[in-house]
Homo-oligomer: A and B are copies of this chain.
Amino acid sequence: MSLSTPDLPKHVKVVEVGPRDGLQNEKQPVPTDIKIALIDRLSAAGFANIESTSFVSPKWVPQMADGAEVMAGITRRPGTIYSVLTPNLRGFEGAVAAKADEVVIFGAASEAFSQRNINCSIVESIERFAPVARAAKDAGLRLRGSISCALGCPYQGEVPVASVVDVVQRLAALGCDEIDIADTIGVGTPSRTREVMEACAKVFPIERLSGHFHDTYGQATANVYAALLSGISIFHSSVAGLGGCPYAKGATGNVATEDVVYLLHGLGIETGIDLDAVVRTGDFISRAIDRPNASRVGRAMLAKLQDGAPACV
């Protein structure tokens, strides 16, 4: 039964999604200068990829209405990829004008979720992105595809592994450079994570697959570890755990970046990220938007700083 510690990736890319995926769920408008300061602090902390905003109709997502101002206001760190969500060609044009490095398209692995959220099938929803994908390739931009509900769905419950694999193949056919396997509602556990990741890795290069976990059921760091064991080396996370779960008020959403980076460093994996700077950034944004810090690493490290408690980490 006992295994020796298996090989883990030597280096992991952590994609910080707080400025977009995290802040998007905030009810109160977040001032543009706070968003800019957040992104600049994150790039200074060493993130090589920051999901920065959406170019989406402000009627749908008022919180992201200032995407162009945010992108114009940030200080670009050489080498950092600033990603934006682009639901359609109009959004894509906004992204190009804003000099985004990467555009993100998306679909669900759950038929019920696709039908209820955008009133079309999974296949149709992916096909609608074909013009955006072509335009991105023509413009020489990186293209990322994100698959929601990959480990479970709030409407249909179980999501077949084959559905996830099918969406991976469709996104790959559109030319995606990177594909995200997202546990949107945080219901997944490690065996399922490994099963899905290993199935997807059979149809898409594993070094370009990413894991996007939510901590709604407290499984996120376990799932990150499980995915590492399957060879995944890109993970999404949100500083201070920004972003709730729209399907269960008061519940946790995106896994906190601090908790993921702590895990990775504890496993001896390089990230290029300064954890102390991330903890300070999590404190900054939590105070700026008057929200409890949802990172346990953040709370523990900040409490120790304040208490002058023995430093052991």
> Which residues from chain B contact A217 at a C-beta distance below 8 Å?
259, 262, 296-297, 300, 313
Give the interface size bracket for A toward B.
35 or more
> Which residues from chain B contact A249 at a C-beta distance below 8 Å?
303, 306-307
Cα distance A9–B312 in the bound complex, in angstroms? 33
Q: Does A198 contact B (CB under 8 A)?
A: yes
Q: Is the interface of A mostly helix, strand, loop or mixed?
A: loop
> Which residues from chain B contact A224 at a C-beta distance below 8 Å?
222
Instruction: Identify which of A4, A9, A216, A266 gathers the most chain B CB atoms within 10 Å of its CB.
Output: A266
> Which residues from chain B contact A194 at a C-beta distance below 8 Å?
3, 5
> Which residues from chain B contact A225 at a C-beta distance below 8 Å?
190, 222, 225-226
Cα distance A180–B215 in the bound complex, in angstroms? 27
> Which residues from chain B contact A268 at a C-beta distance below 8 Å?
191
The answer to whether A222 touches B300 (Cβ under 8 A) is: no
- Chain B residue at minimum C-beta to C-beta distance from A267: B191
Q: Does A61 contact B (CB under 8 A)?
A: no
Q: In chain A, residues 263-313, which have Cβ atoms closer than 8 Å to a Cβ of chain B? A: 263, 266-268, 295-297, 299-301, 303-304, 306-307, 309-310, 312-313
Q: How far is the CB of A114 from chain B (nearest CB, A)?
A: 15
The answer to whether A252 touches B154 (Cβ under 8 A) is: no
Q: Does A185 contact B (CB under 8 A)?
A: yes
The answer to whether B230 touches A300 (Cβ under 8 A) is: no
Q: Does A221 contact B (CB under 8 A)?
A: yes
Q: Which of B198, B220, B222, B248 is A307 in contact with, Cβ under 8 Å?
A: B248
Q: In chain A, residues 122-181, which have Cβ atoms closer than 8 Å to a Cβ of chain B? A: 152-157
Instruction: Identify which of A217, A251, A297 gathers the most chain B CB atoms within 10 Å of its CB.
Output: A217
Q: Does A2 contact B (CB under 8 A)?
A: yes
> Which residues from chain B contact A229 at a C-beta distance below 8 Å?
3
The answer to whether A189 touches B300 (Cβ under 8 A) is: no
Q: Does A218 contact B (CB under 8 A)?
A: yes
Q: Which of B258, B295, B312 is A157 in contact with, Cβ under 8 Å?
A: B312
Q: How far is the CB of A14 from chain B (nearest CB, A)?
A: 14
Q: Nearest 5 CB-CB pairs, A to B? A: A189-B266, A218-B259, A218-B296, A248-B303, A251-B300
Can you spell out 8 A-B residue pairs with CB atoms less than 8 angstroms apart? A1-B7, A157-B312, A187-B313, A189-B263, A189-B267, A218-B258, A221-B222, A251-B303
Known contacts A217-B297, A219-B262, A252-B300; 7 further A-B pairs (Cβ under 8 A): A1-B206, A2-B206, A3-B230, A5-B195, A191-B266, A218-B295, A250-B303
